[in-house]
Chains A and B, each alone.
Chain A
């Protein structure tokens, strides 16, 4: 079945969304294949736990499928907007229900739980010290800034899509993005200076 699904050229996001409105099962599986990794990554950076990210990712797609089956799919700008909106609300509910503690992105204790991805990030950071700097700086950013930055540069959503996901106007999103990047640049600079001072002291 998998080969049947992947043998065709990937349909556009818009077409998939329209097919989903018609309760098309094959379209849903295609959407799942196309967006599973992205949704997982988005959730993973929010909950910082591989197991939780896996569960919540499955939960997101099941929620979407139940909405599709019920024929209650609202008109979204794109399928990505819909999926990331559901993912965002799923994470919010997860924290609201108290399932997730206030876990920091670079929380040392989380490393015990996370196996593959934490190792991936560690490996990435060992290769690239600048990435580690940014990763640490991201954790210090306002959640609003961090969310928009991650959605735009990691999940590659457009400003309009992000506006739909976070329920703000595109102009506001642009402002948040600009301020967030500026804050991230300043934080990265400060981190760099601290590290340089440490090196000189040693």
Chain B
């Protein structure tokens, strides 16, 4: 007989039961002992009181109590740091929480373009922070925000360069109408994908390489979206330096939308 066979047979011994008469008699004896001979109908506690009893017993255990308190401190502290950190500005003591939060958000994005868009959004936050800052009173903070803004945009530009070097180029055709009185550029959202560098789109072979114009005087320039976005970012940098924060945000927003349209 193997081990499982032995165990099966041992379990059969569970069928041994006490004598029924003894059981009945003993039950009465035990009730008399427990209730002191009084004929009281026992009241079962409600589910709620049972729950309270279990709850109290569970959380009064030292290990569980310490664990619960530690969890509350860690989770509560983390949440508080996150909430307060969201309002923090560069130079604030809780700014690190915001940085960690941003790093986590970045780490969650595996697509480089998505990372660039997120960084652009972060740069916009820096601009808002700068706009709301009393620059005279908080020179150090203003400097820190500027550095942070510049660093973020530099990362985006590096990211765009990396995409340019690895991925097929997404081009965006600019239709420029040459007029004597102004140099307005009308932009159409015609995006195509082709290879390598910026290409020149010909229109029915009527394009003059020498002048860069078509017969009807239009100039067609096709350039990679990333290059356009980079230019917008550079413009945003200039606007930021000139304290035109609304303009900076608009440019960054436009750069972000441009990246979005290239997807």
Task: List residues of A whose CB falls within 8 A of some B CB.
Answer: 1-2, 4-5, 8, 11, 14-15, 18-19, 22, 24-26, 28-29, 32-33, 36-37, 40-41, 44-45, 50, 53-54, 57-58, 61-62, 65, 115-117, 120-121, 124, 128, 130-131, 133-135, 149-150, 153-154, 156, 181, 184-185, 188-189, 192
Q: Report the bound CA distance from A114 to B71 in whole Å.
A: 58
Interface pair A124/B1, CB less than 8 Å apart: no
B28, chain A: closest CB distance, angstroms: 9
Interface pair B19/A28, CB less than 8 Å apart: no
Q: Report the bound CA distance from A96 to B169 in whole Å.
A: 94
Query: A25-B42, A37-B18 given as contacts; is B6 within 8 A of A185 (CB)?
Result: yes
Interface pair A36/B23, CB less than 8 Å apart: yes
Decide yes or no whether B11 CB sits under 8 A from chain A: yes
Decide yes or no whether B17 CB sits under 8 A from chain A: yes
Q: Considering the complex, which residues of chain B in the window 25-46 have a beta carbon less than 8 Å from any beta carbon of chain A?
A: 26-27, 29-31, 33-35, 39-45
Name 23 interchain pairs, CB-CB below 8 A, sorted by A. A5-B42, A14-B57, A18-B53, A19-B45, A25-B34, A25-B40, A37-B17, A40-B18, A54-B18, A58-B26, A58-B30, A65-B30, A65-B33, A117-B18, A124-B12, A130-B9, A131-B12, A134-B9, A135-B13, A154-B10, A184-B6, A185-B1, A188-B6
Q: Report the bound CA distance from A75 to B17 in whole Å.
A: 29
Interface pair B53/A15, CB less than 8 Å apart: yes
Residues in A with CB closer than 8 Å to B3 are 181, 185
Residues in B with CB closer than 8 Å to A134 are 1, 6, 9-10
Decide yes or no whether B93 CB sits under 8 A from chain A: no
For the complex of A and B, the 9 pairs showing the least CB-CB separation, nearest first, are: A26-B42, A153-B10, A40-B18, A131-B9, A116-B19, A134-B9, A154-B13, A18-B53, A25-B34
Chain B binding surface SS class = helix
Q: Report the bound CA distance from A65 to B33 in whole Å.
A: 9
Interface pair A153/B27, CB less than 8 Å apart: no
Q: 12 additional contacts, CB 8 Å, given A1-B31, A184-B6? A: A1-B42, A19-B50, A40-B18, A44-B18, A58-B29, A116-B19, A117-B17, A124-B16, A130-B1, A150-B10, A181-B6, A189-B1
Query: A29-B42, A116-B19, A130-B1 given as contacts; is B33 within 8 A of A62 (CB)?
Result: yes
Query: A25-B42, A29-B42, A181-B6 given as contacts; is B17 within 8 A of A15 (CB)?
Result: no
Q: Report the bound CA distance from A81 to B45 in whole Å.
A: 24
Q: Report the bound CA distance from A65 to B18 in whole Å.
A: 21
